[in-house]
DNA sequence: GTCGCGATAGTCT
DNA sequence: GACTATCGCGACA
């Protein structure tokens, strides 16, 4: 898919559809010549001024301006004063909709991720961990997901993975909306419990 | 495996 | 001054 079309797709797709579509896509970063890629396995939708749980519910602020920049933009914010979290902005400029990337599976650069995380396990199974493993910080807030250091690449889940819809996590408002998606490998008999790890 | 809890600082009221 | 789109660790099963 040409990149101009990708921007078009992200700017016209409803956020409630993007939360499904982005599952299985890849996020690839290149910082200081170190490339890392994950497959997205967990997402949450935040629907702008219609959504009390969204950072953009009360309109534009200094923090959330990237979320109003239009589909194809990366929105990065600091969570709990400690962690960075990444969002794919969706919809036309000014609408303030985005999909939070909550988790993924390492595809490329797993060793780099271990170094950045300072540990060998739980590399990308949470929004703060995912951003840290990919080397994403507030410096990348507002950059293009088509041309910037953090890029989005369409893709599909492998066979034998399935997606479930649940309520969102860690929020206190509009908790009834089932706007979270999580993909897990389907258990095969004889499988001793690998974490759904993939090869290149 | 699950549960509880403290750390920590930017953002908004 | 209060709240937070989280994480890691230790306790327990």
pLDDT averaged over chain A?
93
Residue A157 token pair = 């889940």
- What structural domains and CATH numbers belong to chain A? 3-185 (3.10.300.10)
Tens of pLDDT, residues A123-155: 999 999 999 999 999 999 999 999 999 999 999
pLDDT of residue A4: 73
Distance A57 CA to C2 C1' (A): 19
State mean pLDDT over A163-179: 94
Q: Does at least one atom of strand C sit less than 7 Å from the CB of A95? A: no
pLDDT of residue A186: 86
* Contact positions of strand B to protein Cβ (< 7 A): 1, 7-13
**The pTM of the whole model exceeds 0.85:** yes
Closest nt to residue A87, judged CA to C1': C5
DSSP output for A58-118: T---TGGGGGGS-TTBEEEEEETTTEEEEEEEESSTTS-EEEEEEEEEEEE-HHHHHHHHT
Tens of pLDDT, residues A6-24: 999 999 999 999 999 999 9
State mean pLDDT over A94-101: 98
Distance A75 CA to B12 C1' (A): 18
Q: Does at least one atom of strand C sit less than 7 Å from the CB of A171? A: yes
Nearest to A146 by CA among A27, A18, A16, A24: A27
Tens of pLDDT, residues A172-198: 999 999 999 999 998 765 555 444 444
The answer to whether the CB of A93 falls within 8 A of the CB of A67 is no
Q: Does at least one atom of strand C sit less than 7 Å from the CB of A98? A: yes
Q: Does at least one atom of strand B sit less than 7 Å from the CB of A63? A: yes
């Amino acid at each position: 898919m040409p990149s101009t079309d990708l921007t078009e797709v992200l700017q016209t797709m409803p956020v409630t559809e993007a939360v499904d579509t982005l599952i299985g896509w890849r996020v690839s970063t290149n910082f200081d010549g170190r490339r890392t890629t994950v497959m997205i396995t967990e997402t949450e939708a935040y629907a702008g001024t219609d959504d009390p749980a969204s950072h953009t519910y009360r309109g534009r602020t200094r923090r959330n301006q990237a979320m109003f920049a239009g589909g194809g933009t990366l929105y990065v914010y600091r969570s709990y004063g400690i962690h960075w979290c990444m969002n794919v902005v969706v919809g036309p400029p000014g609408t303030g909709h985005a999909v939070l990337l909550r988790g993924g599976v390492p595809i490329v650069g797993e060793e780099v991720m271990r170094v950045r995380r300072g540990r060998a396990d739980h590399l990308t199974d949470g929004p703060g961990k995912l951003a840290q493993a990919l080397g994403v910080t507030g410096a990348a807030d507002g950059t293009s997901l088509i041309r910037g250091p953090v890029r989005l690449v369409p893709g599909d889940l492998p066979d034998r993975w399935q997606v479930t819809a649940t309520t969102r996590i860690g929020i206190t408002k509009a908790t009834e909306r089932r706007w979270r998606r999580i993909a897990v490998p389907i258990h095969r008999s004889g499988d001793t419990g690998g974490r759904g790890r993939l090869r290149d």
